[in-house]
Amino acid sequence: GMTEMVRKITLSRAVRIMQNLFPEEYNFYPRSWILPDEFQLFVAQVRMVKDGDPSWKPTFIVKPDSGCQGDGIYLIKDPSDIRLAGTLQSRPAVVQEYICKPLLIDKLKFDIRLYVLLKSLDPLEIYIAKDGLSRFCTEPYQEPSPKNLHHTFMHLTNYALNIHSGNFVHSDSTSTGSKRTFSSILCRLSSKGVDIKKVWSDIISLVIKTVIALTPELKVFYQSDIPAGRPGPTCFQILGFDILLMKNLKPILLEVNANPSMRIEHEQELSPGVFENVPSLVDEEVKVAVIRDTLRLMDPLKNKRENQSQKLKQPAVKEEPSDSEPASPSDANPNPEAHLPSICLKQVFPKYAKQFNYLRLVDRMANLFIRFLGIKGTMKLGPTGFRTFIRNCKLSSSSLSMAAVDILYIDITRRWNSMTLDQRDSGMCLQGFVEAFFYLAQRKFKMLPLHEQVASLVDLCEYHLSLLDEKRLVCGRSGTSGGRAPDSGTPQEAAASAPLAQGTPPACTNSAH
């Protein structure tokens, strides 16, 4: 599900949910509208802000949903731009507020490509490479104006675009040219008195928060393929985070790539039409380390070798613990990684989990959603599953009848199904469930801020479901062998609670059920 999740529209929706809950924590992502669905909203909101502040002269950047390497991206000053009409008819896109005041180096705009290893989804494990790439524009930057909006080499940092500029500089040094290491940029900023630790801390925070926004739907994708209660394959992904530093050094998320280029060479034109591949020292320095150390971290035989190594060690010999993996017993060298550099990937989660766990509200909603999905392989909640969720969590009342619940389900599901491209199965998608959950939370806890309303409702649902699971544990399904306990909701729920019962529980009467 990663490729789907980092598409521009899906990413924007996932981050927007988090912005609704935690606006201050997620202000690193530009204000975005999804086209064509939100075109009228885009027009209305821009007009409203301009009416309130006539001096506001924004620029917007339009990015096709399925585009990559800068394909189809352009800048506009106003929603009435004629090019936007063409985009509305041709393909879905995201339009965002353009960052007009980026940090410049040598008068050039640049962005940062950071490599992030998502080592595990549950439990969540995130690593960030200690170095990345800085990709530079090839034309000196000026703030957007009608005269320079079409200057691609001035405004767009994409390597695939700027490589075609006559000003692009290939360099054998990591600190010069049109592509440099991020560490060389940090050194340069440090020499000017910039607090580099603060910059890194802000970037790490941005990465963790973005992954937290993506994981709920990734869990739904994952459970549709991997059976519950089984270990499954060792899945991992290297993501490419594209980040822009503003003039005030605040990092802004541009996009996330599920399949970042790992190429370590570039094409050089020897003569007209004749090209050869030339090694790129900057790419090699950063990317080889990322791939090598990802494989070291993910090595599935590592624990086995460590155990064998421990058995073979002489009892009298005391060795200091090491992060590097021991050799197989047949190896003469006790440490096959002794010749390798230290690992370039720094763990940031769960290392900093205490600081960020409060943001994982939608994750907990996704767990509720998955519990009531029922049929293996589905990613959408049917009307029966939604009713069971309401009933088991005790959310219906005199002011919210089950008939009103059905209407809520139909309204939200119909709207989301009209917006989504995936029509493989009918029902309520996770984002529709989150919208319904927000509505229920606002009804039940009227006087609180939204994130507190949602947190209170999640707590309430988890409490009622834990009581239900306890009841099943005590009753032990006696007399229901091969059947299902009352109020069990879905086959998946019933299966999920089965391993809880251990030993021989006391018998339960029907009245106890």
Lowest mean pLDDT among 34-43, 86-95, 181-190: 86-95
For residue 216, what is the enclosing H or E element?
helix 196-225
Give the model's pLDDT for residue 195. 95
Calpha distance 34→398 (Å, rounded): 38
In whole angstroms, what is the distance from residue 34 CA to residue 397 CA? 36
* Range among 167-171, 283-287, 479-483 with highest mean pLDDT value: 283-287
Question: Is the pLDDT at 349 greater than 80, yes or no?
Answer: yes
User: In the numeric block, which tokens belong to residue 478?
Assistant: 């006696």
Label residue 338 by pLDDT band (50, 70, 90).
Answer: confident
Write down the pLDDT at residue 65: 86
What pLDDT, in 10s, does the model give residues 389-431?
999 999 988 888 999 999 999 999 999 888 765 556 789 999 9
**Which percentage of the chain shows pLDDT scores above 90?**
56
* 57 vs 420, residue with greater confidence: 57
| Secondary structure class of 267 (helix, strand, coil) | strand
For the chain, which domains are there?
100-302 (3.30.470.20), 359-473 (1.10.238.10)
Q: For the residues 137-152, what does the mean pLDDT come to? A: 91
pLDDT in tens, 377-388: 788 999 999 999
Distances 476 to 282, 467, 492, 499 between C-alpha atoms, Å = 62, 14, 17, 10
Q: Is 479 helix (H, G, I), strand (E, B) or coil?
A: coil
What pLDDT is recorded for position 331?
45
Average pLDDT over residues 131-146: 94
How much is the average pLDDT of 294-310?
76
Mean of pLDDT values over 124-136: 95
Residue predicted with more confidence, 310 or 47: 47
Say whether pLDDT at 23 is over 80: yes
Give the residue-averaged pLDDT of 98-109: 94
Confidence of residue 512 (pLDDT cuts 50, 70, 90): very low
pLDDT, position 340: 83
pLDDT for 306: 66
CB 349 within 8 A of CB 116: no
* Separation between Cα atoms, residue 206 and residue 114, nearest integer Å: 12
What is the average per-residue pLDDT within 231-255? 90
pLDDT of residue 333: 52
Residue 226 has pLDDT above 90, yes or no: no
Reported as half-sphere exposure (CB side, CA atoms, 13 A), residue 161 has a value of 21
Residue 506 has pLDDT above 60, yes or no: no
Give the confidence band of 228 by pLDDT, cuts at 50, 70, 90: low
Question: What does pTM read for this prediction?
Answer: 0.84
**Residue pointed to by tokens 């004749």:** 274
* Res 477 pLDDT > 80: no
User: 240 pairs with which residues across the strands?
Assistant: 115, 257
Whether the pLDDT of residue 19 is over 80: the answer is yes
| Residue 320: strand, helix, or coil | coil
Give residue 70's pLDDT. Answer: 66
Could you give the CA distance from residue 261 to residue 161 in angstroms, rounded to a whole number? 14
Q: Is the pLDDT of residue 487 over 60?
A: no
pLDDT of residue 100 exceeding 90, the answer is yes
Mean pLDDT, the chain, as a whole number? 84
Q: Rounded to 10 degrees, what is the CA torsion of 324, 328, 331, 337?
A: -20
pLDDT value at position 503? 36
User: Tens of pLDDT along 203-212?
Assistant: 999 999 999 9
Measured distance CA(49)–CA(79) in Å, rounded: 13
Averaged pLDDT for residues 347-372: 95
Tokens of 133: 């790439």
Question: Quick one: pLDDT at residue 321?
Answer: 39
- Is residue 179 within a helix (H) or strand (E), and if so which, with residue range? strand 179-181
Distance between CA 437 and CA 369 in Å, rounded?
10
Taking each helix axis from N to C end, the angle separating 361-371 and 8-21, rounded to the nearest 10 degrees, works out to 110
Instruction: Answer yes or no: are the C-beta atoms of 424 and 353 closer than 8 Å.
Output: no
Provide the 3-class DSSP secondary structure of residue 500: helix
- Residue carrying the six token digits 């290491």: 181
